[in-house]
Amino acid sequence: MPALLSEWSAIAKPIIGMLHLPPLPGSPGFSSDSDSIVTRLLSDAQALVDGGVHGLLMENFGDAPFFPRRVPAHVVAHMTHLAGEVRRRFDLPLGINVLRNDGLSALSVAQATGAALIRVNVLCGARLTDQGILEGIAHELLRERELLDARNIRILADVEVKHSTALGVARPLEEEVQDTIQRGRADAVVVSGSGTGRATSLETIRRAKSAAGDTPVFVGSGITAENVAAHLDAADGAIVGTGFKKDGQARNPVDPGRVRAIMREVS
């Protein structure tokens, strides 16, 4: 399988550590202290880097309830500033995810800051979520990437995305994976459990990988020190958030001990 990023050419199974941003200005949970957001972000990033992860993925996790599609300009501005802070301090590939499904803004933040990839929750098809119906954005996103001459920014696309359900009769996973790659032109596929931190079944990973062929498949939720070896045996990499956090709670800071425990099982 060709490496998703050139920086990972010598890494068999890349582990991407999540940077869950606290509520940003304008969000209901914002604490009125922007400096604390930067402090928390850089502390989490340092713990992940010191623990040996191979990449970082920043998302506006604290901004619930999420906008279903485009976010306001102030969210893009703050995320661009924060991504720049990470890029200035850490020499690992950085990814951007703008929740709930604003891949166009994620691409703009990535292009402006030199990030390497973006994650898109619904690239193809449609899903019923707590934000309503989310529709695929591949037709806009791929054209925007061409317009920005940003083909080097890779697109990681979820299939059967967490916190959602199919509209009507669910399609076979294999068909969704193939359409996401062949028609949506995703550079990698992400498979997850039903919600944040919930385990991804080995059967789901294996089915997705069988359908994806040479396209990388990442596990998107539920990685622990106990299951990471088995999951990476089936997948090409993993995105780890909750498993790295203090007490295994997604909103808590990164726990360096948990990072080391998982990464020991990877290397």
Task: Give the CA angle between residues 223, 29, 67 to the nearest 5°.
Answer: 75
The fraction of the chain above a pLDDT of 90, given in percent, is 87
List the domains of the chain with CATH numbers: 11-266 (3.20.20.70)
Predicted local distance difference test score (pLDDT) of residue 84: 98
Predicted local distance difference test score (pLDDT) of residue 171: 86
Q: Does 14 have pLDDT greater than 70?
A: yes
Q: Specify the higher pLDDT residue, 192 or 47.
A: 47
Mean pLDDT for the stretch of residues 50-63: 97
Predicted local distance difference test score (pLDDT) of residue 210: 97
Mean pLDDT for the stretch of residues 57-85: 97
Mean pLDDT for the stretch of residues 128-145: 95
Instruction: For residue 137, give the 3-state DSSP assignment.
Output: coil
The fraction of the chain above a pLDDT of 70, given in percent, is 99
Q: Does 130 have pLDDT greater than 70?
A: yes
Predicted local distance difference test score (pLDDT) of residue 71: 98
Predicted local distance difference test score (pLDDT) of residue 161: 83
Residue 243: which H helix or E strand, with range? none
| Mean of all residue pLDDT scores within the chain | 94
Q: What is the pLDDT of residues 176-194, one digit of tens each?
A: 999 999 999 999 999 988 7
Close Cβ partners of 209 (under 8 Å, ≥ 6 residues apart): 217, 234, 235, 236
Q: Does 167 have pLDDT greater than 90?
A: no
Amino acid at 209: K
Mean pLDDT for the stretch of residues 222-236: 95
pLDDT band at 2 (very low <50, low <70, confident <90, very high): low
Q: Give dist(CA 236, CA 189) in Å, integer.
A: 10
Alpha helices in 90-201 (DSSP H): 103-113, 138-147, 173-182
Q: Does 1 have pLDDT greater than 70?
A: no
Predicted local distance difference test score (pLDDT) of residue 3: 84
Mean pLDDT for the stretch of residues 65-75: 96
Q: Specify the higher pLDDT residue, 45 or 130.
A: 45
Predicted local distance difference test score (pLDDT) of residue 70: 97
**Of how many residues is the chain composed?**
267
Predicted local distance difference test score (pLDDT) of residue 224: 94
